[in-house]
Amino acid sequence: MASCALSRAGHPFSTLAARVVCALFILSSTPVFAQTSGPPGDLSTLMQDPNQWVMPARDYANTRFSPLDQINTTNAHRLEPAWTFSVGVDRGQEAAPIIIGDTMYIVGPYAGPYPNRVFALDATSGELKWSYAPKPEPAAAGVACCDVVNRGLAYDNGKVFLNTLDAHTVAIDAKTGKELWHAKLGEINQGETITMAPIVARGKIIVGNSGGELGVRGWLTALDEETGRIVWRAYGTGPDADVLIGDDFDPFYKNLKGKDLGVKTWPADRWRIGGATAWGWVSYDPELNLLYYGTANPSPWNSNQRNGDNLWTATIFARDADTGHAKWAYQLNPHDEFDHDEINENVLVDLSIGGKPRKVLIHPGRNGYMYVIDRQTGEVLSADAYDPPITASKGVDLETGRLIPNEEKTPLLGKTIEDICPAAPGAKDWQPTAWSPRTHLLYVPHQHLCMSMKTSEVGYIAGTPFVGASVDMYAGHGGYRGEFMAWDPVARKRVWEIHESLPVWSGALVTAGDVAFYGTMDRLFKAVDARNGKLLWQFRAGSGFIGQPVTYKGSDGQQYVAILSGVGGWPGAIASADIDPRVRNAALGFAGATQDLPFYTAGGSELLVFKLADASELGAQGAQGTPAGQPAGSAPQPQQSPAPGDTNAQPQ
């Protein structure tokens, strides 16, 4: 396919040199890390250095685990702000900072005079080294589904890679901020945008599109990292040739075997406007040379207009990184009725299942089930409800792999169906989990919402909403709207949980110090004991958190923790965009669930960086909100967060 790698110049604002420090640190643990060698600056080598955070997920396995332990359960209460920086735009801040050597790279959302602006900062002092502003199409903001967010940057061999909302990928010189190339990947007049963070594998930039609520046909694309040339593109719907399904495609389940199922499982030509975008996370197993990712919802939401299983929507694919050819696939939600995209992360770990070692992926499904899947074959080993009660379905049949529908909740044209749990954003949306090889637990930030849904006929007009449903979301059973919890994938149960009043839309981070971090939409950034959920420390910021925490070691030898503060995204648009909170079905129904959010927070744009305070400078009282002198190893004690949050750690 022809590339559009042109020379669309951006604006580098300054050119202080950056240096890259690479220290080889081979990890021997259950997560799957790249063990290949490479020259200094090569991503597969850099991610083995515990002092850096070289991609939003930190590693190809998507663990978001840091081997650093300077900050631990005995001293986390001493955390204090080290420095801050504003990206200048008060909209949803979902991006993860990345740290290469002594330089931090961050990106802002698609808003303000410099949309998707990239900043290079000294990771220890916060000094600005350079910034780069692309020249995107302003019209892209008008077709973005759920706020104008960006989820982060990628890096490899001296280049930083940026996805812009107007469906371009840009390569930037990491030292100078100079644009090296850019490639146009989609058409905003068709509703295509890009919000996902790219990843780099085997010299290719892996990028997926957004726009399922506008009838976009989804794809995953690989670009040559040196030129921006398209190497391969795999569509999410359509004939096998387009989906890159060939003779070596071997799904585990029989119903997924057959010719051109991406056409035959749809009404005539509906696959052309059928969704299956790839706007979430991509994992990579270098030993198997396989990329893993999930596709999004079918279009429109009104399932009455698209009979059939609607392949390959709501599907996990395993693809050859070199060719893009699918090796296996598994559809989690055949004929999805509730907008349950399955773009969530696939965490690659090696576990003992039934007494046997298995190479698996853990997928916290938007449909409310925690999947453990053999990543070599696509066999579902377990699928357990992690956000009960689930009313949208009755479970997963492990013999067939199929979701068991609850016919009482089947959408009927023109009829309001109530108490559908989980709601359209799922039990968990894009906000990523973290896995600790020390505790063997998965740390899950998620929402706890139900909804009422009424479907209606909708016509397709390119670049306009193609939904066909009115949704009203509200707190799930129990009255809370969010939760941060720890899940044991071998025992197939939760270990502890922390209820929050509002959806927990931030990512998670866990460290070798046995500290887990997450943020709340009511402006609290929290550190908890990874083993029992006990609150260790919290910090009240100027705006709510929907970003991704990361940690790294500065040039001064100190461990730092960083996160962007700025409420927005799908659940927070009501507080950062011009949305009337009295209209419950606004923001595709999320306004109903977060009507009170504007009373607690507004939009923000601040990068917050923390480190440990000198113990000699602390008095009898610990850091903000946390009593000092509390034994770190004691049993979890209820910790009442300031309103509206409820942070009772509940061991199971």
> First vs last Cα of the chain: how many Å apart?
53
Which pairing describes strands 65-66 and 509-511: parallel, antiparallel, or unpaired?
parallel
Q: What 3 state SS string does 267-335 have?
A: CCCHHHHCECCCCCCEEEECCCCEEEEECCCECCCCHHHCCCCCCCCCEEEEEECCCCCEEEEEECCCC
On the 0-12 / 13-18 / 19+ scale of CB atoms within 10 A, 449 is: buried
213 assigned to active site: yes
Token pair of 337 as six digits: 């009725």
Token pair of 242 as six digits: 């387009």
- Among candidate residues 297, 302, 344, 367, the one labeled active-site is 297
Helix/strand number for the chain, H first, E second: 5, 41
Instruction: Please report which helix (H) or strand (E) contains residue 535, including its range.
Output: strand 535-540
What are residue 161's DSSP bridge partners? 154, 171
What SS3 state is found at 596? coil
Give CA separation, 149 vs 11, 93, 180, 509, in Å. Answer: 21, 6, 24, 20
Residues 6+ apart with CB under 8 A from 578: none
**How many other CB atoms are found less than 10 A from the CB of residue 257?**
11
606 assigned to active site: no
What SS3 state is found at 78? helix
Token pair of 45 as six digits: 């080598």
- Among candidate residues 339, 379, 514, 646, the one labeled active-site is 339
Instruction: Please report which helix (H) or strand (E) contains residue 575, including its range.
Output: helix 569-576
Instruction: Please report which helix (H) or strand (E) contains residue 121, including its range.
Output: strand 118-122
* Length of the chain, in residues: 652
- Between CA 94 and CA 33 the distance in angstroms is 24
339 assigned to active site: yes
Tell me which residue of 351, 589, 299, 237 sits closest to 461, measured CA to CA: 299
Which pairing describes strands 515-519 and 524-529: parallel, antiparallel, or unpaired?
antiparallel
What are residue 233's DSSP bridge partners? 221
- Among candidate residues 59, 179, 213, 384, the one labeled active-site is 213
- CA 192 from chain centre, in angstroms, equals 19
- Angle at 517 (CA atoms; ends 512, 519), nearest 5 degrees: 170
The phi and psi torsions of 256 (rounded to 5 degrees) equal -100, 5
Say if residue 300 is preceded by a cis peptide, omega within 30 of 0.
yes
- Between CA 632 and CA 615 the distance in angstroms is 16
Asked if residue 208 lies in contact with residue 282, where contact means CB atoms within 8 angstroms, the answer is yes
Instruction: Please report which helix (H) or strand (E) contains residue 528, including its range.
Output: strand 524-529
CA atoms within 13 A on the CB side of 226: 2
Q: Is the backbone of residue 532 left (phi > 0), alpha (psi -120 to 50) or beta? A: alpha
Give catalytic residues, as residue numbers: 213, 297, 339
